[in-house]
Structure 1
Amino acid sequence: MDLLFLVKPVIDMLWKYKIFDIFLLLLLLVYIVPRFFYIKISVTSVLLITFMLFLFRSYIVKIDMQTTLVFLKILSAILMFFAAQFNRDIEKTLKYISLSYIVPIICYIIFAVTHKGFIYWGAVKTFVGPYYYKTDLAIAVIISIIFIRRYLFFSKIKYVMWFTRIYIFLLAPIFILLANSRMMTIIYGIFFVVLIVESYQYKVMKVNSIQGRLETKVKRNALVVLSLIIVTLGYTVYDTQFKSENALAISINEGQIFSLENTQGRSGIWETTIGNFLDGNPFSLLLGYYINKEFELNTYSGQDAHNTYLKLLVTTGFIGGSLYIFFNGFILRRIKFLYKKIGSSSMNYFTLNTILMITLFFIISGFTQSNIIYTQSSWYAFYFMGLLYNPNLFNK
């Protein structure tokens, strides 16, 4: 599995060559099939397996090349969840993934400096780097932040730490803004706050006195407020001083949050798709239609749902959609439980924070894209959610 993660970010950049994706899928199967009967079952995994059965029912309703491709992508993500149970050295995996993003980061910098990888998305000049779609670039940047932040806390080489700071706090937000990805801009703002608080938390993890804990809580809350102010001011400066005339903007004015402009037309997709779905028969409401049915229900533009939860609702109905939501709820509950168990170990704290960040990224970004069918993000999300049930997670 470490080999898979080591090459995954590079292969994601080689999106034109599908043979590499097939290779990674075969590699995953080779890893998981011999271990299939050793998988340990939990309530969360039962929810996931049951959801998969509903998805399979929807798949066999209409089998063609496109539905098969989507089904296999979702199946591969779920297999990643179970593959995580057999990881015996999680710290090593984190190290490999942080290393795997060095080459992509260098590519992003080269593409930006040489003014390559810019295309016009409508009337907007957008940075896509080595990817086809602007959001793919922004997703890769967000995921790279989650993993290379490891060098902020554990690298003993000063220039590596400084380059990491420059990338995370300067280059990464520039790339995301140039990519004109609203949701990833919002997620970066959230992660900026997390990183500031996390950096402080490492320094005070061993505070044992009640007074010390109270002081720590006050300082942490103050850092949250300060970080939010910095994020707000930073975006305001960009919006008023550096943003190009045609660049996409985020409006927080009342009545504009879910406007067509703010959502790039997604609100029109959601409204028509939900309306047409609710007009269906009771059987379809409960069990859904079939994979990619939302293309037909979306009479606004005839496109994908651009929302994981809506896509699964149409595909697997209220029952399947509810199972997926309950699954995410159990994951967040598990994370909250484990925070009480990690003690004062900085590596345990880092690992659990990483799982929380990748989970939040996946849950939040799922509101504006059908990310469950994109292995660029789904494989990481499901694998690290699966690590929550790995007995070796905090064995050190």
Structure 2
Amino acid sequence: MVRLGRSFWFLWSSTASSNLADGVLKVGAPLLAVSLTRSPTLVSLVGAAATLPWLALALHAGAIADRADRRRVMVRANLARAVILTAATTLAALGLLNLWLLLAAVLLAGVSEVFADLSAQSILPMAVSQDDLTRANGRVSTAQMIGNDFVGAPVAGLLVVSLPAVLFGAPALLYGVAGLLLLGMRGTYRLRAAAKRPIRADIAEALRYLWSHRVLRALAITAGLLNLANAAYFAVFVLWVVGDGSAMGLGPGEYGLMTTAFAVGAVFGSLLAGRAAAMFGEFRTLVGNWLISSLLLLVPVIVPSAWTLYPTAVLWGLVGAAGNVLVISTRQRLIPAELLGRVNSAYRLVGMGGMPLGAALGGVVAEFAGLGAVLVGATGVCLAAVGLVWRALSDQISGPLTCKPTLSDISRSR
């Protein structure tokens, strides 16, 4: 712990607090929406509202992360989320909350999340050494998963049933704490050679870099397809799992336990990602995780039972977190420091920009073709995406599995 340094652990503590808030909001908002309507289209709008800001603001947020002090951007974004959700708490306590106010709160919190998350991924290489990136990302990912799913999810399930107003109040407090913890980081986190040219020139440079980099381009496109399909899948998955008319018939609390099971797997996946990559190579480990995660999407459809759902959620968490650690560490190593915020934002625009479309599309398709059609169709898209990235990059890997090629090696040989 000492080796990673004081600044890292303040960053880690802030991440833990903000992701606990994320977990309460991420699980609680759809559950609250289900209590207000059973329309798949309207419920899916919650997922769309949470991710739409990535499509609209990612490029500008990344450019700002390369120009401003990244710590200050994160402080302001977290405090903004605290203010937004405090207002939502007041409306809920007064009995004025409806579906449209819920969507507005989720959307505005999502705007702040874009700035906070992009700056967080860009600030980490400034807080630890290059050699410690994978280990540091594993620690950060563990905190994210514990906060998002292991603790936040069951808390959200209880709050929806007992104290809906606190569903916004608890995250508001946690985001405020996250902003204050960042003040403990020493030093400045602004690039010395921050750009003075028009912001559109910075954005254009990032897009050119991403498109010209074979590895990053292939990973971004694959991530985009996977996220689009998963957004469609999970936007309506709550209707497949929760309620008397659902395939599984679980309650809100049991749905929260599913995400807790996800977090258990994710903690192990985050910590074991580096070892798996050392054994099999980063590329093979990453693609293998994506393939397994995609196939697991079929399990709740084929066997809609709580007894299969919870083990599946553990495996989802394990392979998903391991893949996430590898992708983030790879981006941080391959992208120059002066471009990190912008290229990260361009990558995440491609990778996450389709999520609001996927969430909305999932609701519309479910309305007309049924929930099963969405779940199976999304799985098919995920499998196709994994096949595309393997075809795009496997020709750069030579030798047996014991060769342990890295993504950095692949990029140098492109």
TM-score interval (norm. to shorter):
under 0.3
> TM-score of the superposition, structure 1-length normalised?
0.27
RCO comparison, higher one (Cα < 8 Å, 6+):
2
Which has the higher Rg, Structure 1 or Structure 2? 1
Question: TM-score, normalised to structure 2's length?
Answer: 0.26
Task: Write 1 or 2 for the structure with the bigger share of helix.
Answer: 2
